[in-house]
Amino acid sequence: MRNRRRALTISRAVGGLIIFAFASLASSAHAISQTGSATLDSERTEVLLSKFSVSKKGGTLRLKLNTAKAGWERGSHSLELLALREDEYFEWKAMIKKGSLCRDRNAKCSQRHEIALPHPMATHVAKGYEFFIDPESGDSYRMDLMSGNTTWMHPSAHHEQAQAIHHRETALDVTLKDVRTTTMRQRQVEYGVASNWFIVLSDCALEFYQAHPPTLHYDLELLNNEKHLPEELRGLGTIYAFSTIGMSATFLAFGVLTFQQYERTKSVHALVLILLLAHGAQVASLMFELMHITVFSLNGKGLRWRYSWFAADFMSEMLQGASEFIVEFVLLFLVCGWTTLSMTVGGLGGSLFASLESGGGAAASRHPPSGAGGRQSTSLVLSSVLKSFFKVNADDPAVKYRVELVAGALRSPVNMLKRGAETTIGVVILVFFALVHVVLELMSRRYNENFEVFHDHDHWPGYALALMRVAFAMLFIVAGGSTYATAKNQDPALASFIRNLLAVGIVWLLAFPFVIFTASGVSLLWRVRYVAGGCAFLQCTALSALGLLVLVDESFKKLSSVASDSGAKSTLGRRGFRAKVAID
């Protein structure tokens, strides 16, 4: 009872701290959602500023533009803001690739808005007026911007206060709404539809002379029905909220089951702790992503390094990547025979790697045959391919030693945490894959910083992560096939479990690449929700299934050392926390 009250007090304190931090971050929202610079010249007459999606009710755009006062004297200018619908944008891009003139492709745009910067020779500006200095007399005069009429007048004598011009500045408001028409009862009826808009800054006059005007600095505010959250992200917050609640509940349930196991055996298997770590990382990832998307809807920026000290978006992606990485290797270790009591050889180390090191040495003889018809030939073919590809000398004792280290690492991954030279190869494997995963995640940030930053993986680091998952799935299939062939004649129950684990693992490993590579066929309005929601759903499902398998499934408990009082006698250490962690 005392422990329960203490846990409740801690959970309330943590929850209150999270709510306080979240509220303080949300209250610090600023009005402008995007800030940047654009340089136009004779070779680059257009710059894509942003992409934004709006609902059928439409949205608004406000652009604030400023630039240096000097440097605009040479040549003419036709500065415009283009708002292109999705179909117009792709046609516009296709014309760029064909080498069309700027004015020809911009004519395809349905919304073109002229940007009127103050005259480069103007000294002051007021509403509807600009002030200049006559070069001959040195006196000031005023120009009416509507009529073009001029009057001798000093800025201080104007009926409204005139602002001195140090930079050329202007602002522009645009409505973004895709309106369609239909016929109902012999009447034309207009209706709005959800749409994507691409915002482009253009100056077509620059392509006719050698032009290098000053850089344009902009502040861009985009609103969807008076909210910063674009239409393509609508509903993601609900998905993350329900996922967070569900995963938190399962995490709490698994924690209770783990505590009950510890009370019974006075130890907890390393597999259980690893899964709890992955589960906790996923829960934290969902919480951070929920915070990010909520703040993003308030200020259009979210919680990123560029705008906040609390980069919840970055932490969410790193934590989900870590959780996926753990699940990948746990699946591989399990299918290779980790924790299964009846497996004396260890699956992959006893079949595929055994054929690699079977150069007539004694090591090969202690591994059982794979049996089952074509299984042996498949293993031999795979081993011969590996030998030829990596130029493996099967009779070399050093090669045999390295192969045995890899096989041992896959059979008993927790031994990699122990000190000793024999575990170095396993640590190298884990660290290598972890570093590659982290580097690809970090490189993807360069692309996620553009437009909405919810992880659609529509860039080469994202595709590389998907291909890594495919390669891992191939390794998983080879390892699982070898383990299944080894266990088929020795333990039918274990063989049945490995077969089911293979089916579930293959589906999960290949589901992520399937989502990524099929996303291009999904409408832009649904693509981000399809990828982000799909990845979160897959990871939550995999973690819940693994937790049920390890802590609840009775058939696995009979085969595994996880819940056994005698199957996992050794521990990670002799004192403290390590003495309570059971390993194989």
Query: Which tokens sit at 83?
Result: 């708002």
The number of angstroms, rounded, from the C-alpha of 12 to the middle of its chain's C-alpha atoms is: 30
Q: How far apart are CA 158 and CA 160, in angstroms?
A: 5
Name the strand (E) or helix (H) holding 95.
helix 86-98
> What's the pLDDT score for residue 25?
40
> What's the pLDDT score for residue 284?
93
Residue 198 pLDDT level (bands cut at 50, 70, 90) = very high
Specify the pTM: 0.70
The overall average pLDDT reported for the chain is 76
- The C-alpha torsion from 330 through 331 and 336 to 340, rounded to 10°, is 70
Burial class (CB in 10 A: 0-12, 13-18, 19+), 109: buried
pLDDT higher than threshold 50 for residue 363: no
> What's the pLDDT score for residue 301?
76
Q: How far apart are CA 358 and CA 169, in angstroms?
A: 77
Nearest CA among 305, 307, 309, 328 for reference residue 317: 305
Q: What is the DSSP track for 524-562?
A: HHHHHHHHHHHHHHHHHHHHHHHHHHHHT-HHHHHHBSS
Q: How far apart are CA 94 and CA 220, in angstroms?
A: 26
Let me know how long the chain is: 584
Q: Give pLDDT tens digits for 306-324.
A: 777 888 888 888 888 888 8
Q: Give pLDDT tens digits for 441-481.
A: 777 766 654 434 445 566 777 788 888 888 888 888 887 88
Residue 256 pLDDT level (bands cut at 50, 70, 90) = very high
Q: Where are the alpha helices (DSSP H) in 266-411?
A: 270-299, 312-335, 352-357, 362-365, 374-390, 397-411
Name the strand (E) or helix (H) holding 521.
none
Strand runs labelled E in 99-166: 111-114, 124-126, 129-133, 140-144, 150-152, 163-164
Mean pLDDT of 280-302: 87
Buried b / exposed e along 279-293 (16+ C-beta atoms within 10 A): bbbbbbbbbbbbbbb
Residue limits of CATH 2.60.120.680 in the chain? 34-122+165-227
Q: In the block, which residue shows the tokens 């140090």?
A: 166
Q: Which CATH superfamily is domain 34-122+165-227 in?
A: GOLD domain (2.60.120.680)
Query: Which tokens sit at 228?
Result: 């910063």
Phi, psi of 562 (to 5 degrees): -65, -45
Please state the three-class secondary structure of 213-235 as a single string.
CCCEEEEEEEEECCECCCHHHCC
Q: How far apart are CA 535 and CA 518, in angstroms?
A: 13
Q: Where are the alpha helices (DSSP H) in 229-311?
A: 236-265, 270-299
Q: What percent of the chain has pLDDT over 70?
A: 73
Q: Give pLDDT tens digits for 53-104.
A: 898 898 999 999 888 877 776 677 889 999 999 899 999 999 999 988 999 9
